């Protein structure tokens, strides 16, 4: 299996060398089989394969997830202290466990927290500018394994990172219909350092990435489900017609497709993404446009004459109703802890500030709206200098990765047996993966524009929603680790190009074999390079000179 699937010729068809029929009988154009072929191709269920091959549909996702889990959970408690922005989110998560909202901490609270004594919360509320979901997910690990140890702090992030490897493997299998390419996608994400670092430290961005990826996967399932429904409903109408096709009126706009359950799931996932970080709003907008464009094209391919107006009315409006209100409801529900509190920040603001124009709105909702307005003002004015700030222009080449942790143990410590050592956590990705993936984006642009490959367009939509909006805020302080939200799409772009190298099923044997060798060589090189950089991602103590060897660019220091 490769990027395309083949099917046998049917009677009466002329099959060109590409394997696709040039013509088919008009009387068969609206049969269920013909419609499904036009709309979704020859998609086979995993149950249709022989048992010897069927087992790999389980093994490949399981094995890539196992690799990802081992890399993320081994030595997860190192370093034994809060690193970088864990100082905010881990302590906020503990506050959630205690009271359901953020409370203030005394001075030098990190020392007490690192010593295993987090129970020093003050009674006054704390003002924060990020929604609750990611902090609740951190709190889940602390509830399971305790708040007094780094494993508990980071369990939620490590589990989420591992599950995202599983999700990406399944998504790649859905996109490319290829077990080798699905394995490549999962393995490349599992061994990449940037994703690994974000999975081993409790910042919010790994949780944002997970819910965005879940929404994308749900929309992929909805794409096929919607096209199957469209094929079935048109076929039923054609079957009762003497002409063997739907009437002109029925083909004017096409049928309604009913409740799209996978779209509801995508809306819920996007609500959780926005509930982690507001940058999830860009993904909600991008994915909403993407799924409507898929439906418009489906109606065009199916033979519906008014496919634009019919698609907008019968697909676009239901898509909005399925995703946006659901996302809003889920997002609002994530603030339940704040709603149930008595003294959370701004919780009683509306009671102290009556409004003639907005008095009809319940006080808790008006207070929450004010909270969001103040947080938006904060984000708009966030422009303070930071030694590891990185412009979005530099992200794809990893011009300035973020240092989460750095120490220089000396020979007096048990970890260092030379004159000078280093222990670091640097959120730099695997250079081979990131730099080739950046080039792959250019290839995808050509294949999307020139070949109209919807898979290339879908990957680019995810990249664009996660990356391009940051260029709207050039004055804002930004960091490279924000890029983890779109990293899965970067990996998919790279795997798409690996599929081109691998070749098609109809290619000559020498072409397929050489393509397989090249792909295997690339994957092996990426894994070996990750092994080389692994100490730099996991705070392993190494001789200082070894640390310097891994600083490939001066801006990484």
For 295, other C-beta atoms within 10 Å of its C-beta total 26
- pLDDT over 80 (residue 42): no
3-state secondary structure 255-287: CCCCCCHHHHHHHHHHHHHHCCCCCHHHHHHHH
**Paired tokens of 394:** 């530099």
Long-range contacts of 356-365 (CB under 8 A, 24+ apart): 364/339
281-333 tens-digit pLDDT: 999 999 999 999 999 999 999 889 889 998 899 999 999 999 999 999 999 99
Beta bridge partners of 331: none
- pLDDT over 70 (residue 195): yes
The 3-state DSSP class for residue 102 equals coil
- Is the pTM for the entire model greater than 0.75? yes
Which residues make Cβ contacts (< 8 Å) with residue 215, sequence separation at least 6? 265, 266, 267, 269, 270, 273, 283, 287
**Paired tokens of 477:** 């302080």
Q: Exposure string (b/e) for 247-265, b if CB count within 10 Å is 16 or more?
A: eeebbebbbebeebebbbb
What local confidence, expressed as pLDDT, does residue 381 receive? 63
**CA-to-CA separations, 43 to 47, 174, 179, 499, in angstroms, rounded:** 12, 10, 14, 18
395-425 tens-digit pLDDT: 999 999 999 999 998 887 777 888 899 999 9
Q: Which residue has the tokens 């709603």?
A: 339
The 3-state DSSP class for residue 420 equals coil
Chain length of the chain: 557
Measure the CA–CA gap between 104 and 123, rounded to whole angstroms: 7
Cα dihedral across residues 508, 509, 510, 513: positive or negative: positive
Q: Which residue has the tokens 């989420």?
A: 160
When pLDDT is averaged across residues 535-557 and rounded to a whole number, the result is 94
The 3-state DSSP class for residue 541 equals strand
Largest alpha-carbon pair distance within the chain?
A: 91
| Phi (first) and psi of residue 123, to 5 degrees | -85, -15
When pLDDT is averaged across residues 27-51 and rounded to a whole number, the result is 77
């Amino acid at each position: 299996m490769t990027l395309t699937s083949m099917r046998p010729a049917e009677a009466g068809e002329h099959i060109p060398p590409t394997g696709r029929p040039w013509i088919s009988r008009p009387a068969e154009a609206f049969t269920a089989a013909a419609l499904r072929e036009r709309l979704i191709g020859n998609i086979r269920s995993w149950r249709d394969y022989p048992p010897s091959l069927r087992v790999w549909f389980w093994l490949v996702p399981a094995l890539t997830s196992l690799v990802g889990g081992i890399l993320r959970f081994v030595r997860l408690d190192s370093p034994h202290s809060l690193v970088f922005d864990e100082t905010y989110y881990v302590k906020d998560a503990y506050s959630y466990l205690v009271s359901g909202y953020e409370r203030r901490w005394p001075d030098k609270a990190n020392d007490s927290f690192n010593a295993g004594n987090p129970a020093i919360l003050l009674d006054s509320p704390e003002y924060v500018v990020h929604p609750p979901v990611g902090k609740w997910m951190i709190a889940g690990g602390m509830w399971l394994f305790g708040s007094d140890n780094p494993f508990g702090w980071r369990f939620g992030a490590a589990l989420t990172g591992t599950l995202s490897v599983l999700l990406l493997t399944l998504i790649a299998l859905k996109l490319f219909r290829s077990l080798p390419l699905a394995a490549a996608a999962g393995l490349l994400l599992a061994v990449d350092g940037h994703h690994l670092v974000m999975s081993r430290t409790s910042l919010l961005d790994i949780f944002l990435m997970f819910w965005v990826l879940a929404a994308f996967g749900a929309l992929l399932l909805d794409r096929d489900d919607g096209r199957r429904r469209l094929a079935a409903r048109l076929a039923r109408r054609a079957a009762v017609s003497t002409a063997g096709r739907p009437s002109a009126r029925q083909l004017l706009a096409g049928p309604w497709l009913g409740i799209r359950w996978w779209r509801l799931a995508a809306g819920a996932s996007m609500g959780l993404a926005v509930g982690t970080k507001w940058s999830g709003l860009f993904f909600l907008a991008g994915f909403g446009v993407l799924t409507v464009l898929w439906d418009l094209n489906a109606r065009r391919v199916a033979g519906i004459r008014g496919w634009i107006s019919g698609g907008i009315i019968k697909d676009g409006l239901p898509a909005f109703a399925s995703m946006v209100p659901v996302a809003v409801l889920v997002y609002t529900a994530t603030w339940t802890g704040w709603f149930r509190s008595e003294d959370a920040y701004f919780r009683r603001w509306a009671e102290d500030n009556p409004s003639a124009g907005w008095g009809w709105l319940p006080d808790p909702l008006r207070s929450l709206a004010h909270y969001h307005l103040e947080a938006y003002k904060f984000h708009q004015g966030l422009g303070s200098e930071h030694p590891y700030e990185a412009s979005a222009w530099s992200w794809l080449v990893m011009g300035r990765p973020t240092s989460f942790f750095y120490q220089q143990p000396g020979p007096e410590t048990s970890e260092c047996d030379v004159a000078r050592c280093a222990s670091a956590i640097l959120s730099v990705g695997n250079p081979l993966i990131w730099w080739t993936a950046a080039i792959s984006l250019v290839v995808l642009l050509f294949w999307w524009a020139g070949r109209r490959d919807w898979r290339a367009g879908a990957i680019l939509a995810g990249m664009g929603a996660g990356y391009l909006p940051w260029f709207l805020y050039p004055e804002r302080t930004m960091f490279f680790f924000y890029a983890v939200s779109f990293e899965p799409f970067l990996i998919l772009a790279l795997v798409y190009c690996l599929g081109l190298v691998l070749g098609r099923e109809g290619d000559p044997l020498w072409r397929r074999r050489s393509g397989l060798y090249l792909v295997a060589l690339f994957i092996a090189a990426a894994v070996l390079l990750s092994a080389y950089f692994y100490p730099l991602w996991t705070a392993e103590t190494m001789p200082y000179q070894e640390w310097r060897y891994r600083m490939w660019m001066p801006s990484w220091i």
